[in-house]
C-alpha cells in the first residue's frame, strides 16, 4: 500500500499575478504546490522552476511538458495557475470544491479527469464503528504540454509515482497522457489493495458468525456493508471515463496508450465484480446471522415453555391444597403429605424426561 509521501522540493514564489502560496497547512513546502517539474524527452530537468517559468521554458523549446502537483488549493491559490494555463472555470470549480464523481470532461485546451482515491484503514479488530475505507479525490488537468494534479484528502500522494515514472524516461517521453495513464493505474491498483484487505475482514466476520461461539454481531456486518458501499461509490463510476479513454480518440491522449488504458479498465472491472460479490456475501452472512438469532430465540422459548409446563404441576397441587377445604384427599393421613409430594415430584420428573427426549431441554 502506497503511503503518503511528499518530496521536499523548495519552490520559489511564482511571479504570476493572483497566486498566493502562503497557506501554512498544505504541504511540507507550506504551500498548495507540492511539486513542479519540467520533463524533456522523458527526463526531468534539473533546477526548481516556478510554474510560469516552467511553462515558458517548455513552450520556448517546443518539447516536453510541465507537471505541477497541488494539494487542496484554495481558489485564491489556484487563480494564478488557472490564468497561466487557461483552465476552464467549471473544471477549476470542481477541482477546488472537490466532492465530485469520477468523470472525464473535455474543455478547450485541456482534458479534465476526476478520480476517487481509496485507502484501507488498518484496525486491530472490526467494531460497529470501525472506519474501513477512507476516500479522497484526485483531479488531473491534461494539456498538450502540461499536467496539473490536484489532490484532496490525506492519502494518495503522487510522490512515489512521480519517482517511479522518472525511472522510465521512455514512458514519460510519450507526454502528459503517460502521466494520466500512470495515475489511473495507481488509483485502480489501490482499489485492488483495498478490496483484498476488505476480503480479509469479511472472512473474519464470516468465521465469527459460523463459529461455535456465534460471534459477529449484526452491527459489525452492517458497518462493513456501509464501508463496502462507500468503496462501490468510489470505484464503479470510474468505468465510463476509462471506457471513453479506451474507445474514443481524445485530445492530448496518445493513441498508443489505449491498450494500456484497456488494461486498467480490465482491472477496474475485476474490482467492481469483487465489490458486488462482497455485497452479496455480506447479505448472506447477515441473513445467516439473523437466522441464528431466530433459532437461538426459539431454543430459549422452548426451554422456557418446558420449565413452565414442569412447574405447572406443583403449582396446581399447591393451589388445590391451598384452598383449605375440610374434606381433602389424604388430609388426615400421616403419610398424606409425603405421598402428595412424591406424586408431584414424579410427575415433574416424567414431564422433564419427555421434554428432554424431544430436545426441548
**What does the pLDDT look like over 300-342, one tens digit per residue?**
787 888 788 778 878 877 777 777 666 666 666 767 777 777 8
For every residue of 205-226, DSSP letters joined together read: HHHHHTSTT----HHHHHHHHH
Q: How confident is the model at residue 7 (pLDDT cuts 50, 70, 90)?
A: very low
Q: How confident is the model at residue 114 (pLDDT cuts 50, 70, 90)?
A: very high
SS3 content of the chain, % helix, strand, coil (to 5): 55, 15, 30
Residues 175, 224: one domain? yes
Q: How confident is the model at residue 118 (pLDDT cuts 50, 70, 90)?
A: very high
* Residue at 228 is within a domain: yes
* Residue at 114 is within a domain: yes
* Least confident interval from 13-22, 26-35, 110-119, 232-241: 13-22
Q: Distance between CA atoms of 180 and 261, rounded to whole angstroms? A: 10
Residues 288, 329: one domain? no
Q: What pLDDT was estimated at residue 110?
A: 87
The position carrying cell 502540461 is 146
Q: Distance between CA atoms of 91 and 109, rounded to whole angstroms? A: 12
Residues 348, 204: one domain? no
CATH number of the domain that residue 173 is part of: 3.30.460.20
* Residue at 2 is within a domain: no
Q: How confident is the model at residue 215 (pLDDT cuts 50, 70, 90)?
A: low
Residue 105 scores a pLDDT above 70: yes
Residues 257, 283: one domain? yes
Q: What pLDDT was estimated at residue 330?
A: 64
pTM across the whole model: 0.74
Residue 32 scores a pLDDT above 80: no
Give the helix ranges, DSSP H, for 20-85. Answer: 51-61, 75-85
Beta pairing partners, 117:
136
Considering 292, 317, 346, which residue would you say is the last residue of a domain?
292
Q: What pLDDT was estimated at residue 8?
A: 30
Beta-carbon contacts of residue 64 (< 8 Å; ≥ 6 apart): 38, 39, 40, 41, 45, 58, 145
Q: How far is CA 242 from CA 12, 26, 175, 181, in A?
A: 36, 30, 18, 10
Residues 62, 144: one domain? yes
Q: What pLDDT was estimated at residue 27?
A: 44
Residues 108, 161: one domain? yes
Considering 270, 292, 314, which residue would you say is the last residue of a domain?
292
353 or 19: whose pLDDT is higher?
353
Mean pLDDT for the stretch of residues 270-279? 91
Winning range, highest mean pLDDT, from 88-102, 198-212, 328-342: 88-102
Residue 272 scores a pLDDT above 60: yes
- Residues 120-145 have pLDDT tens digits of 988 888 877 888 889 999 999 999 89
358 or 240: whose pLDDT is higher?
240
- Closest by CA to 80, choosing from 141, 143, 20, is 20
Asked if 10 and 29 count as a contact pair (C-beta separation under 8 A), the reply is: yes
- Closest by CA to 310, choosing from 361, 341, 347, is 347
Asked if 78 and 72 count as a contact pair (C-beta separation under 8 A), the reply is: no
Residue 9 scores a pLDDT above 70: no
**How far is the first Cα of the chain from the last one, in angstroms, to the nearest whole number?**
53
* Residue at 3 is within a domain: no
Beta-carbon contacts of residue 91 (< 8 Å; ≥ 6 apart): 105, 107, 110, 112, 139, 141
Asked if 183 and 138 count as a contact pair (C-beta separation under 8 A), the reply is: yes
* Residue at 16 is within a domain: no
> What is the domain extent for residue 297?
293-357
Q: How many helices (H) and strands (E) does the chain have?
A: 10, 7
Q: What pLDDT was estimated at residue 24?
A: 37
Residues 334, 218: one domain? no
CATH number of the domain that residue 308 is part of: 1.20.58
Residue 262 scores a pLDDT above 50: yes
Residues 270, 227: one domain? yes
**Quick one: what percent of the chain has pLDDT higher than 70?**
85
Number of domains, the chain: 2
Q: What pLDDT was estimated at residue 1?
A: 32
* Residue at 11 is within a domain: no
Q: Distance between CA atoms of 213 and 260, rounded to whole angstroms? A: 49
Backbone phi and psi for residue 84, each to the nearest 5 degrees, phi listed first: -65, -40
Q: What pLDDT was estimated at residue 279?
A: 86
Q: What pLDDT was estimated at residue 23?
A: 37
Residue 214 scores a pLDDT above 80: no
Residues 214, 254: one domain? yes
CA dihedral 240, 34, 73, 100 (to 10 degrees): 10
Count CA atoms within 13 Å of residue 347 on its CB side.
14
Ramachandran quadrant class, 47 (left: phi over 0; alpha: psi -120 to 50; beta: rest)? left
323 or 254: whose pLDDT is higher?
254
Q: Distance between CA atoms of 205 and 318, rounded to whole angstroms? A: 51
Mean pLDDT for the stretch of residues 39-56? 85
- Residues 275-290 have pLDDT tens digits of 999 888 888 888 777 7
* Residue at 22 is within a domain: no
Q: Distance between CA atoms of 108 and 115, rounded to whole angstroms? A: 20
Q: What pLDDT was estimated at residue 325?
A: 64
Q: What pLDDT was estimated at residue 78?
A: 85
Average pLDDT in the chain:
80
Residues 228, 238: one domain? yes
Q: How confident is the model at residue 19 (pLDDT cuts 50, 70, 90)?
A: very low
Q: Distance between CA atoms of 281 and 225, rounded to whole angstroms? A: 10
Residues 71, 206: one domain? yes
Q: Distance between CA atoms of 315 and 141, rounded to whole angstroms? A: 84
Residues 186, 317: one domain? no
* Residue at 151 is within a domain: yes
Q: What pLDDT was estimated at residue 191?
A: 94
**Quick one: what percent of the chain has pLDDT higher than 90?**
24
Amino acid at each position: 500500500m502506497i503511503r503518503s509521501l511528499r518530496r521536499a522540493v523548495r519552490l520559489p514564489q511564482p511571479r504570476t499575478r493572483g497566486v498566493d502560496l502562503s497557506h501554512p497547512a498544505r504541504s511540507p513546502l507550506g504551500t498548495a504546490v507540492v511539486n513542479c517539474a519540467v520533463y524533456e524527452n522523458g527526463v526531468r530537468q534539473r533546477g526548481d522552476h516556478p510554474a510560469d517559468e516552467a511553462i515558458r521554458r517548455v513552450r520556448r523549446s517546443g518539447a516536453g511538458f510541465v507537471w505541477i502537483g497541488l494539494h487542496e488549493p484554495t481558489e485564491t491559490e489556484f487563480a494564478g495557475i488557472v490564468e497561466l494555463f487557461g483552465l476552464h472555470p467549471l473544471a477549476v470549480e470542481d477541482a477546488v470544491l472537490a466532492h465530485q464523481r469520477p468523470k472525464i470532461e473535455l474543455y478547450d485546451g485541456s482534458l479534465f479527469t476526476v478520480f476517487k482515491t481509496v485507502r484501507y484503514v488498518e484496525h486491530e479488530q472490526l467494531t460497529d464503528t470501525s472506519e474501513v475505507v477512507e476516500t479522497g479525490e484526485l483531479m488531473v488537468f491534461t494539456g498538450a504540454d502540461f499536467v496539473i494534479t490536484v489532490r484532496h484528502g490525506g492519502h494518495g500522494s503522487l510522490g512515489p509515482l512521480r519517482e517511479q515514472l522518472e525511472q522510465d524516461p521512455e514512458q514519460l517521453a510519450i507526454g502528459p497522457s503517460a502521466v494520466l495513464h500512470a495515475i489511473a493505474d495507481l488509483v485502480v491498483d489501490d482499489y485492488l489493495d483495498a478490496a483484498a484487505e476488505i476480503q480479509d475482514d469479511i472472512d473474519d466476520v464470516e468465521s465469527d458468525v459460523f463459529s461455535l461461539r456465534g460471534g459477529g454481531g449484526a452491527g459489525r456486518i452492517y458497518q462493513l456493508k456501509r464501508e463496502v458501499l462507500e468503496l462501490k461509490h468510489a470505484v464503479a463510476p470510474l468505468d465510463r471515463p476509462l471506457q471513453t479513454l479506451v474507445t474514443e480518440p481524445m485530445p492530448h491522449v496518445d493513441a498508443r496508450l489505449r491498450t494500456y488504458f484497456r488494461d486498467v479498465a480490465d482491472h477496474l472491472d475485476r474490482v467492481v465484480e469483487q465489490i458486488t460479490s462482497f455485497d452479496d456475501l455480506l447479505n448472506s452472512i447477515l441473513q445467516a446471522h439473523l437466522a441464528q438469532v431466530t433459532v437461538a430465540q426459539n431454543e430459549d422459548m422452548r426451554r422456557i415453555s418446558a420449565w413452565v409446563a414442569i412447574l405447572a404441576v406443583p403449582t396446581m397441587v399447591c393451589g388445590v391444597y391451598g384452598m383449605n377445604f375440610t374434606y381433602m384427599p389424604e388430609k388426615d393421613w400421616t403419610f398424606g403429605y409425603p405421598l402428595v409430594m412424591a406424586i408431584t415430584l414424579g410427575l415433574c420428573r416424567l414431564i422433564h424426561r419427555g421434554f428432554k427426549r424431544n430436545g426441548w431441554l
